[in-house]
Amino acid sequence: MRLRRAHRRAPAEGGADGGGEPGPEGIRRAIVAVPLDGSAAEDASAIRELVTGAHFYASPAPSPSGGHLAWVQWNHPRMPWDGTELRVAAIEDGHTVAPRTVKGGLTESALAPLWADDETLYVISDWPGWWNMYQVGLHGESAQALYPAEEEFASPLWQLGGMPYALLGDGRLAVLHGEGDMRLAVYDPETLDLTELELPYSHWAPQVSADGSTIVAIGGGPDVPDSVVRIDTANGRVETLRRETAHLPDAAYLSRPRTERLEGPFGRPVHAYVFPPTSPDAAAPEGELPPYVVFVHGGPTGRVSTVLNLERAYFTSRGIGVIDVNYGGSAGYGRAYRERLRRQWGVVDVEDAVFAARALVERGIADPERLAIRGGSAGGWTTLAAATQTDLFKAATSYYGISDLQSFAGATHDFESQYLFGLIGPLPGFERAYEERSPLNRADRTACPVLLLQGLDDPIVPPDQSERFAVALAEKKMPYAYLTFEGESHGFRRAETTIACLEAELAFYGQTLGFKPKDVDPIDLTVG
């Protein structure tokens, strides 16, 4: 049998094992057992429901002997980085019996259950304020911190299937850890030692697998794209199995980042990476400072790393600097840093992006008349919010950004349908905050030209979010361009779309920041 997480439409009653009500439109999710002989293809009743009742499930893990099942679950309005439960149940006659919570809760995010043996589990929990490793018994007894540290050993659970650590054949654990960028190391539960692996990669994606003495993970660095890497811990051999891109630009065109921990508004830290313009072909004229673009990542509970990003390199190799900001609310810096955005989305993220840009100006790095901001999805929201709250930026680029919160809350997919309850406030009750924060309702205060880029098949941020903002800019007679792409969803996939967007963006910055880029045609800006 194979365990799977499934969902289906259901009547409005809850299940028997979590107390959660079904999601929108009667969605009911379950962990099910699927027979491996293919019989379920002809007889759906061959699929057995093992766990039901919660809104969401992740990481179903049978114990080594098959006598118990562990899993992670949570309910709206929480997101998995807010609060989850690690639950364990016995399996008897093909059914789960006596489920119980062994770690996690309303304000504790427990992730990634991994069986050490039939009686104990490893789990990652942010109970101390950071996602640290624990060992816990079948009944939640003797929860023991394995390596207490002000570092993260996991990342937000945006996608299913990945594990941030893995069990080696000798009982040690291959783990990811760090503040900001994640490093790969080996943890020994017997000696309590955490041994760093000396590897030419500065950051690792939150997906680790192991077999015997071999680790497979995805690593990268400022001049190394994301790469599938195999490491043999027995002999130290490292082998790159596949790279995201086989052909890299000349190293002379790749910017080397500086890690910044700035002291932001009210003395709170702001984390960022500065990528100065780096190119043998493009430089600011004598006596002039280069333009800089603030990159704002999506999520907003996400992060940016130092791993080679060819979109970022496109600009730094053409004389434009980049500051990539892990604003308050970003992952990688502990729960308190993540929760700075609670009910403050559109405030803290904007303040941190603005502060990072001003820090470049105050240090004499960037030209104050040549500052731009850009972001996608939630980063597009922050971009539009910044353009309507401050006159610091002279250009703003939004990739499928959110402009109106209430319509977004009513139209987005189930997983994020109540995400805004933590970022802004619950509905009903906080309608005024939704109205006041939405850039669409402040479009008449937009202080700079805007480039809007939108996929027409986007189910997460529907096209009307960009369309209505474009109409509002036209009414204000603020220069803008609105480019749409058939067949593109949330996050562009086609090479021709990416090329068109980047060339349009570069041309847009040239026209608004006062320089002439090479090899791109001017973009038509609409005014009214």
**Residue 401 structure tokens:** 């950004």
Read out DSSP for 301-364? S----SS--HHHHHHHTTT-EEEEEE-TT-SSS-HHHHGGGTTTTTTHHHHHHHHHHHHHHHTT
- Residue 354: burial class (beta carbons within 10 Å; 0-12, 13-18, 19+): buried
Closest of 369, 386, 278, 279 to residue 325, by C-alpha: 386
Helix 378-389 × helix 348-362 angle, to 10°? 70
| Tens digits of residue pLDDT in 65-89 | 999 999 999 999 999 999 999 999 9
Q: 116, 144 in Cβ contact below 8 A?
A: no
What is the C-alpha separation between 174 and 182, in angstroms, rounded? 13
Provide the H-helix boundaries in 239-323. Answer: 310-316
Closest of 205, 206, 201 to residue 221, by C-alpha: 201
Closest of 338, 368, 202, 221 to residue 269, by C-alpha: 338
What is the C-alpha separation between 423 and 407, in angstroms, rounded? 15
The identity of residue 402, as a single letter, is I
> Is 249 in a helix, a strand, or coil?
coil
What's the mean pLDDT in 306-333? 97
- What is the pLDDT of the chain when averaged over all its residues? 92
pTM: 0.92
pLDDT confidence band for 15 (50 / 70 / 90): very low
Buried b (16+ CB within 10 A) or exposed e, 27-52: ebbbbbbbeeeeebeeeeeebbbbbb
| Tens digits of residue pLDDT in 147-193 | 999 999 999 999 998 999 999 999 999 999 999 999 999 999 999 99
| Tens digits of residue pLDDT in 513-522 | 999 998 899 9
- Residue 474: burial class (beta carbons within 10 Å; 0-12, 13-18, 19+): middle
| Tens digits of residue pLDDT in 91-104 | 998 899 999 999 99
What is the C-alpha separation between 311 and 484, in angstroms, rounded? 19
Q: Which residue has the higher pLDDT, 199 or 22?
A: 199
pLDDT > 70 in the chain, percent: 95
pLDDT confidence band for 25 (50 / 70 / 90): low
Would you say residue 13 has pLDDT above 50?
no
**Cα angle for residues 286, 315, 359 (degrees, 5° grid):** 70
Determine the length of the chain: 528
